[in-house]
Structures are given as C-alpha cells and as structure tokens.
Amino acid sequence: MTFRDMTGSIRSILTGMSAYHKNGLKSDDCLGNIGVLSKSELAKLTGLKNGCEFRIVKINDKGEIVDVYRSAREAGRKNYMSYQAILDRINGRVKSLYAPDGYVYVKDKDRDIQEAIRKIELDSIKKARIGLQKAIHVQFDF
C-alpha cells in the first residue's frame, strides 16, 4: 500500500468527522492528542467547555420552579417564544422581569435562581403597595 492509497483511505474514513485536540491545546499536535468525532458530538463537547450550553429554569410569579429545559432553544420551542427573547432576559438586556408568557427565565445556577426569586418577591411587594396611600401624621395633645 502506497502513501497515496493510505491517505485516500484515511480521508474516506474521516468523511463527516472532525479532528480535535483532546487536551484543548492547539499547539500540541502529538498523534495521541488528536481525536476524531462526528460534528454533532464535537459540538456537544466544545459547547459544554465554552459555556454556550446551559440549562434554563422557568419560574412562576410565586417564586416556584415550574420547569427545567436543556437549552434556550428548547425553552423557546416549548413555550412558543423565540429563544432570543429568553436569552435577552437571562442576559439582562430587557428591563422587564417577566417574559411575554408571564414567567421568569434564568440559568440553572443557585445564585441566579435565588436572585430571580428575590426580584419576584420585591415585584409582588411593589404591586401590593399600589393603591395604598400613606397615612397622614396625626399629633395628639393630651
């Protein structure tokens, strides 16, 4: 088998596959550091490393967790919204706390969930005070 035959057979094996560095160092081209995965497997692997893929939590107006989704796209698909509307709320690009469907969406991290629940509590307190007038100050002379 000649070198030309070997490279042709390697290319036919690798069709639809992607090579990657196992340790993440692009400068380390050692043969033991090069792995081969399908493009979908590689996307899952690199997406988890760079933080692009994260779970989404859906919280109602009482501060209860209603549902958990694998990604913003799944949350958008299941709630009939664009995933960008959910991402905008998660990243703080929108002033409104609630999404158009009346729920709050946050990343599945304890700190983010607690912060969202606190904002919901403050919002409900603010809504409860609407319509109440401040009592006038009365001074009694005895």
pLDDT tens readout for residues 88-135: 999 889 888 899 999 999 998 889 999 999 999 988 888 877 655 666
Distance CA 38, CA 44 (A): 10
pLDDT range class, residue 79, cuts 50, 70, 90 = very high
Half-sphere exposure of 121 (CA within 13 A, CB side): 8
| pTM greater than the 0.85 cutoff | no
Question: Residue 102: CB partners within 8 Å, gap ≥ 6?
Answer: 60, 61
Segment 103-113, tens digit of pLDDT? 999 998 889 99
